[in-house]
A and B are shown apart, each in its own frame.
Chain A
Amino acid sequence: MTLVKDVRQLSRGWRWSRRRLPPHSAEPHHSFAEPREFPTEWARSRPARAAREVLLRGGLSPLVRRETTTRVEGLDIFDDLEGPVIIVANHTSHLDTALLLTTLPVKWQRKVTVGAAADYFFDAWWRAIGSALVFATFPIERRGTGLSDTPTKLIEAGWSIVMFPEGTRSPDGWTRRFRPGAAALARSHNIAIVPVAISGSYAAMPRGRNWPKPGRPSVHVRYGRPVRPLEDENTLALNARVSAAISALLDEDGTDWYTAARRAAAEETPSSAGPAVANWRRVWTSTAGPTVRGGRPKAWR
C-alpha cells in the first residue's frame, strides 16, 4: 500500500474534514472532551467585514435573487430602530440565513452576527471558517453544555444577533417550540427583538438539499415590529409574544395585514405549528410554497 493510500485511509477513517465522533456503541465508554469554542473574533474585524460585504453584495445576494423569487416586506421598521437588536426568525432551511443577511439594510448587514449550531457549522475547520467569514456566525452549543458568554459580549459591543430559537431546521416546514434563549438575552440586555417570518424556504430548499430547487421558487421574508421586553415580564412570556408575533407575520403573509391584525386581536391567529394531521399532509402543505398574491399575471392560464 502506498503512502498516499495510507494517508487517505487515515483521513477517511478519522474524518479529518469533519468533527470526530465515537462509534455509537462506544459512547457510554467515551469521555467527551469539553468543547472548545471556535474563535470567531477575526470574522468581525474590519478586513473580514469588508470581505463579507463584498461576498454578500457581490456574490450571495445576486445568487439568492437568481435562484429564488424573493419578496421582502417590512424593512421600514429599521428606519427608526437603533441597534443592537436580536433578529428572530422561524427556521426551515439553510436558505434562511442567506435570505436574512441579503435582505437586511446595508447599515444593519454590517453589524449583524448569526448564532449557528456549533455541532454542525463548527464541526470542521473549513466549515467553521467559511460560515464565520460569509455569514458572520458564532457557535452556539445545542447540547446544554453551558451558556457561552459570546452573545453577551457581542451585544455589549453593539452587534445585533440573528437567532433561530427553534434550534434547528423544521423537519416539516412548520414551526417548532421556541427555546427561550433569545428572549432571555433580550431581557437581560433590555433590547428589542425583531420578529421575522420566512415562508417558502422549506419548499425552495428543504433539509437534504444544498441548493434551491430549479424554477426560482418564491420565498417571502417579512420583518415585523420590534418586540420590546416589558417591565415585570418574565422570559417565557416574552418568548411567547415573539412566537405569537412570528405566527401573526406568517398569517399576514398568507392573508393581508388587516386580516392578520384582526385575528391576532381576537387571539385567533392560526398556529404556525401547523395542523395536527398526518406528517405527510404537513409536509405536503409546506412544500406548496407561499401564496403569491398580486404577483405578475401568468403568461397563460
Chain B
Amino acid sequence: MTRPGFVLTVDERTPPLLMHSGESFKLQEFPLGSRVIYPAESLPGLPDLDEAIENALLHPIDSEPLPALLTAGMKLTIAFDDISLPLPQMRKPDVRQRVLEHVLQHAADAGVDDVELIIATALHRRMTADEVRGVVGERVFRSFWPDQLYNFDAEDRDNLAHLGTTDTGEDVEISKRAAESDLLVYVNVNLVAMDGGWKSTAIGLASYNSLRHHHNAHTMVNSKSFMDPRHSELHSSAWRMGRVISEHVKVFQIETTLNNDAFPSQYGFLTKREWEWSLKDQAMFLATKRGIDLLPTKTRRRTFQNMAAPYAVTGVNAGAVEPVHDKTLERVHQQQLVEVNGQTDILVMGLPYLCPYNVNSIMNPILAACLGLGYLFNMYRGKPLVREGGVLILDHPVPWEFSMLHHPSYVDFFDEVLAESTDPKVIGPKFEQQYATDPWYTHLYRTSNAYHGVHPFYMWYWCAHALDHLGQVIWVGGDRRSVARMGMRSASTFADALELARDTVGSSPSITYQHAPPHILSDVR
C-alpha cells in the first residue's frame, strides 16, 4: 500500500531533516511548528510494461489503433523527449526505448520504409551519440543513427515549416519533416504535470520564431503555475499552437508516467522519511555524505550524474493528444499531489544537483535559480505555497561556474545582462534578440553541444513568476558574488537566513519546508 504525501508539523520528536544542497546533502534542524511537505511513496509500477505499451497502441484513446494508421509507403516521423527527461536519467532500458521498439515493430510489420526519429530538443543542446544510444537502445540506434535518428535543429531554416498563426497571432513553426509526415508519433516521459500534451510537439519541435510567443516574462508571470496546465498561459499558448499543428499532421501521442523512485536503493535514505531511518540508513547517510564531501569537484559531479534512477513506469496512454494528456495528468497527480492547507511566510527548499539543463554538465547559477524559483517554486496548484511578499530560502552553493561546452551564452548573460538588470521584463526587450540571433551561439548550438543563445533568457523568464511574487530570496551557503549578481541575498547558515527574513516577514513567521526530491505538487487550499 502506497502511503500518500502529507504535511508534517515539526515537534520535539522530529529528527533533523534531510536537505539537498547541490552536489551534497545535509541534515537540517527546523524550528518547532514548522511544516514539512512530504511526497507520497512510490506507486507500484505496471506489472508487465510490454503488455501495457502494446495495449495502449492497440486500444488508443480517441484514435484508431496504431497498426491501422501505418501503411507501406507512408512518411512516418517519431519524435521523442530529449535528455532533459526524466531526472535523474532512468536505469536502462529507458521507457522511451521500450515504447519506440514497439512502435517500430508495428511500422516494420506494416512495411513502412520512410521512418525518421527526431529528438525533440527545441533550443536545448544536441544529445551526443552515446546519450542517444542510452535513451533509444542499441537496436534503434544501430538501425537509424545518424541519418534517420537525429537531434532537431531549430536553426535549420530549410527544414522548418511555418504552419500559420494561432487565433491570437502566434507563429507556429516546427520541424518540416514532422509537419509534412503522414503520421507524427510523439513518445513522451511525463515526469511532472508541466510536461506532455501539446507542449511536446508545439514546443519540442519548434523554432525560436514560435517559442518567443510563450517563452517570455509576460507569459510566465501569468502562468500560475506552469505546473498546472489549466492555469498556465504557457500551456494555453502551446494548446493553441497544437490545434494549428493538428490541422496539418495527424499526431499520435504516447505518454508515459513514472513513480517516485528517483534514487537507487542503496541511497534509500534520500527518499525515506527521516524518523523511519534505520541505523543502517543513518550509517549510509553519514558514510555517503562524508565520502562525497571528500571527493574532488569533478569526481563528485560524475558520481551524482552517474546515478541512475530505478523509476518504474506507472502508466502508458496513447491516442489523441488532449484526452491522452488528461489521463496522464491524473496519474501524475496520483503520485505527486499533496494537499496543503494555507500558504506560508517562508518557504524552504534544498536544491539538488540536477535540473533539466545540466544533465552531464554543471549547474551554473542561472540554472540553480531556474530550478528553485522556476521549477520548484511552481510545483503548486491553486495558490503558491508561499504568500505574496513572502520569503523563499534556497539551499545551494551557487558556484560561479559554467560549462563552456553546454552553456556558452550563459556566461555572457551572467556577466553582461544580469549586471545591468535582473528584471525579466526589462532584459527581454533589451537583450533577447541579440542573443537569439548571435551567429557564434547559433553555430555552437547547431554544430556542438551548446544550448541556444537565447536559452539563458528563458531560464530567467522561468523565474519571473517567483520574482514577481516574492518579497525576498535568500540562498543558504550560496557564493556571495553569484547570488548578488542575481539580485538576491546569501546567508551562511539557515539560522542566518531566518534572521535576514525577519526584515520581510516579521519575527514569528510560518515556515514550510518542501521536502523534495522526489517531486511534490502541492495542492494549496
User: Hey, which bits of chain A sit against chain B, CB under 8 A?
Assistant: 3, 6-7, 9-10, 13-14, 20-26, 28-31
Contact = CB atoms under 8 A, between A and B. Distances in A.
Given A20-B275, A22-B276, 13 more contacts: A6-B290, A10-B286, A13-B274, A14-B275, A14-B277, A14-B282, A23-B14, A24-B9, A25-B6, A29-B3, A29-B6, A30-B275, A31-B3
A24 B13 contact: yes
Contacts of B282: 10, 14
12 contacts: A6-B286, A10-B286, A13-B274, A14-B277, A14-B282, A20-B275, A23-B13, A24-B9, A25-B7, A26-B273, A30-B275, A30-B276
A77 to B, nearest CB: 46
Contacts of B11: 23-25
A291 B38 CA distance: 58
B286 A13 contact: no
Which one of A9, A13, A24 has the highest number of Cβ atoms from chain B below 10 Å of its Cβ? A13
B286 A7 contact: yes
B6 A13 contact: no
B286 A23 contact: no
Contacts of B15: 13-14
Interface in B1-39: 3-4, 6-11, 13-16, 27, 29, 38
A22 B14 CA distance: 7
Contacts of B9: 23-25
Which one of B3, B10, B15, B273 has the highest number of Cβ atoms from chain A below 10 Å of its Cβ? B15
Given A7-B286, A20-B275, A26-B275, A13 B8 contact: no
A13 B290 contact: no
A277 B31 CA distance: 41
Given A14-B277, A23-B8, A26-B275, A9 B13 contact: no
Interface of B: 3-4, 6-11, 13-16, 27, 29, 38, 273-277, 282, 285-286, 289-290
A265 to B, nearest CB: 52
A16 to B, nearest CB: 8
A9 B8 contact: no
B41 to A, nearest CB: 10
B275 A23 contact: yes
A76 to B, nearest CB: 50
Contact of B27 (A3, A13, A31): A13
A3 B275 CA distance: 21
A3 B6 contact: no
Contacts, number: 54
Given A9-B27, A30-B276, A22 B13 contact: yes
Contacts of B3: 29, 31
A58 to B, nearest CB: 37
B86 to A, nearest CB: 26
A29 B275 CA distance: 12
A26 B286 contact: no
A188 B197 CA distance: 70
Nearest to B5: A29
Nearest to A24: B11
Contact of A13 (B4, B7, B16, B289): B16
A34 to B, nearest CB: 15
A209 B29 CA distance: 31
Contacts of B275: 14, 20-23, 26, 30
Contacts of B29: 13
B402 to A, nearest CB: 29
A5 to B, nearest CB: 11
Contacts of A20: 275
Nearest to A7: B286
Pairs A-B, 4 closest by C-beta atoms: A13-B15, A25-B9, A23-B14, A13-B16
Nearest to A6: B286
A31 B275 CA distance: 12
B440 to A, nearest CB: 45
A7 B289 CA distance: 12
A3 B13 contact: no
Contacts of A25: 6-9, 11
Contacts of B273: 26
A24 to B, nearest CB: 5
Contacts of B290: 3, 6
Nearest to A26: B8
Which one of B14, B38, B290 has the highest number of Cβ atoms from chain A below 10 Å of its Cβ? B14
Contacts of A26: 6, 8, 273, 275
A23 to B, nearest CB: 4
Nearest to A3: B290
A20 B13 CA distance: 8
Contacts of B7: 25
A207 B354 CA distance: 53
B276 A9 contact: no
A296 B286 CA distance: 64
A30 B29 CA distance: 21
A26 B29 CA distance: 17
A9 B3 CA distance: 28
Contacts of A21: 13, 275
A9 B27 CA distance: 9
Nearest to B26: A1
A3 B287 CA distance: 10
A76 B216 CA distance: 95
A293 B249 CA distance: 105
Nearest to B10: A23
B187 to A, nearest CB: 36
A33 to B, nearest CB: 10
Contacts of A7: 286
A24 B9 CA distance: 8
Contacts of A28: 6
Nearest to A20: B275
Nearest to A29: B6
Nearest to B6: A29
